[in-house]
Chains A and B, each alone.
Chain A
């Protein structure tokens, strides 16, 4: 099994090397930093960003917006999800809202939010609208997937209702909450940055990308992209870690 693992790692590394190789070749063929800078100058640009003025504010505020949006989505998603999972009428009421939210193009939200809200609020609002439906839908699915046999068992043994909710329903939906949170984060970070590009708050990765693009600093646009990917992967990893700590029974 260990051999298989190292083999897979090797293939992954190979894929990354190939990607960078292609990038290098294409940039060589254009021969222009203005169109596609080579990987090494992009790397330098990325490192430079870390020590640039306002780096902490730029990245920190984007992360803060994401976390606020996530926290609101998380709390509302779980709360409303549990209500909808336990009550058919409320589910029927919530369903069209969720479907609408999920199928509306992110850009529509942004354009409307630009009209409705202060600049700072736009990315948070976008983060919420993209993340909330994922978490809520997953919680509803989780409740629908609770093993009825276990609930019946608990009822026969006269386990009180609140204990059934706490010890049977809640643990059963935990894995669903994590998978919902993970998809939500994946989409959320991207949506926030688009929101920032268009709303231009004072600090934010999106704002910085837009500025770099205006000055045709392609290497800086890619550098910010790399940082965005790093943020997204970091939180994905964090979620997996927390999940492994909580879902120990698998």
Chain B
């Protein structure tokens, strides 16, 4: 079954972000939400993760889902090492040994195994965000929410992280909802791309990308990029 949000209403003070808003997300797919700053993309993620309450609306299929969240900032505990930060979110019913081996596996998958015992203060911004990605995947979630996690990084690091992310994602194809305002990120990562308008939000258009190999220089992608550009305010 798909994840559906129906008749969503949400305002902050005088600003109406969502008014009778509907959206469907396919499961086991990376859905990208592209939209201007301040349109309510983050608020939507926060309502899905239950950290913000909607004024009203139905969230169908979300109830029993376990959620991982990759934030704009890495949000690592400064007093915990790379491995400890990953295992921090793991359930305490697991033994320490089991948690360690899970953390080890995911730190390897994001290529941080040489830094397992480093504290975040000793890591670069890209490395910290990789720890956050490893943490999100090591957590046995059904849905991964991402709020512009690549925003603060330079292009080369971005490409690196996108690669790392896709590699991890291929393993169990979890449902991902990824918010960004960067078209390239959406093209490289997304399967479904939703273009949001300014608040109150409407979906201006939905694109579906089926290609597995992504290149920003391929003619088909350049064409798509132009089409998306035209949709955005």
Residues of A within 8 A of B (CB): 149-150, 152-160, 163, 167-168, 171-172, 247-250
Q: How far is the CB of B86 from chain A (nearest CB, A)?
A: 11
Is B109 positioned at the interface, with any CB of A under 8 Å from its CB? no
Is the pair A171, B79 in contact by a Cβ cutoff of 8 Å?
A: yes
Say whether, besides A167-B77, A249-B78, A159 and B89 are in contact (CB < 8 Å): yes
In contact, B79 and A157 (Cβ under 8 angstroms): no
Cβ-defined contact, B67 with A171, below 8 A: no
A153 near B69: Cβ-Cβ < 8 Å: yes
Contact status A155-B79, CB under 8 Å: no
Tell me whether A249 and B79 are in contact (CB under 8 A): yes
Interchain CA distance A4-B49 in the complex, whole Å: 52
Taking A149-B75, A248-B119, A249-B80 as known contacts, 14 extra A-B pairs with beta carbons closer than 8 A to each other, sorted by chain A number, are A149-B71, A152-B51, A153-B71, A156-B49, A156-B68, A157-B69, A157-B89, A157-B135, A157-B139, A167-B88, A171-B77, A172-B79, A249-B120, A249-B121
- State the Cβ distance, A151 to closest chain B Cβ, in Å: 10
Interface of B is mostly: loop
The answer to whether B73 has its CB under 8 Å from any CB of chain A is: yes
- Nearest CB of chain A from residue B191's CB, rounded to whole Å: 24
Contact of B75 among A150, A160, A247, A249 (CB under 8 A): A150
Top-5 shortest CB links A-B? A157-B89, A171-B79, A249-B119, A249-B79, A153-B75
Instruction: Judge whether B78 and A163 touch: CB under 8 Å.
Output: no
B54 to chain A, nearest CB (A): 17
Inside 8 A of A158's CB, which chain B residues have their CB? 66
B68, B79, B121: most-surrounded residue (chain A CB, <10 A): B79
Contact of A160 with B69 in the complex, beta carbons under 8 Å: no
What 0/1 readout, one digit per residue, does chain B (82-123) give for beta carbons within 8 Å of chain A? 000000110010000000000000000000000000011100
Q: Looking across the interface, which residue of chain B has its beta carbon closest to that of A250?
A: B121
Show 28 A/B contacts (Cβ-Cβ < 8 Å), sorted by A: A149-B71, A150-B75, A152-B51, A153-B75, A154-B88, A154-B89, A155-B51, A156-B51, A156-B67, A156-B69, A157-B68, A157-B69, A157-B89, A157-B135, A158-B66, A159-B89, A160-B92, A167-B77, A168-B77, A171-B77, A171-B79, A172-B79, A249-B78, A249-B80, A249-B119, A249-B121, A250-B78, A250-B119
Report the bound CA distance from A95 to B80 in whole Å.
Answer: 33
Q: Residues of B contacting A172 with CB < 8 Å? A: 79
The answer to whether A163 touches B92, judged by C-beta atoms less than 8 angstroms apart, is yes
Q: Is the CB of A150 within 8 A of B77?
A: yes
Identify the interface centre among A153, A163, A167, A171: most chain B CB within 10 Å of its CB: A153
Q: How far, in whole Å, are A157 and B51 apart by their CA atoms in the complex?
A: 11
User: Which residues of the partner chain B approach A154 to less than 8 Å between Cβ atoms?
Assistant: 88-89
- B56-81 contact mask (Cβ, 8 Å, vs A): 1 or 0: 00000000001111010101011110
Digitize B152-174: 1 where CB-to-A-CB distance is under 8 Å, 0 elsewhere: 00000000000000000000000
- The contact of A149 among B67, B73, B120, B139, by CB within 8 Å, is B73
The CA of A191 and the CA of B67, in the complex, are separated in Å by 55
Contacts of A150 on B, CB cut-off 8 Å? 75, 77
Looking at the assembled complex, report how far the CB atom of A148 sits from the nearest CB atom of chain B, in whole angstroms: 10
Q: Are A159 and B88 in contact (CB under 8 A)?
A: yes
Query: A247 to chain B: which residues have CB within 8 Å?
Result: 79
Distance, CA A238 to CA B51, complexed state (A): 43
Report the separation of the CA atoms of residues A149 and B74 in the bound assembly, to the nearest whole angstrom: 10
Output the least CB separation between B193 and chain A (Å): 25
Measured between alpha carbons, how far is A30 from B218 in the docked complex, in Å? 92
Q: Cβ of B88: which chain A residues have Cβ within 8 Å of it?
A: 154, 159, 167
Report chain A residues within 8 Å CB of B120: 249
A-side contacts of B68, CB under 8 Å? 156-157
Closest to A159 in B: B89
Once the chains are docked, how many angstroms separate the CA of A220 from the CA of B15?
74
Chain B residue nearest in CB terms to A151: B75
A207 to B68, CA, bound (A): 64
Residues of A within 8 A of B69 (CB): 153, 156-157
Q: How far is the CB of B233 from chain A (nearest CB, A)?
A: 29
Q: How far is the CB of A168 from chain B (nearest CB, A)?
A: 7
Nearest CB to that of B78 among chain A residues? A249
Given the complex, which residues of A lie within 8 Å of B92, measured CB to CB?
160, 163
- Give the complex CA separation of A171 and B50 in angstroms: 27
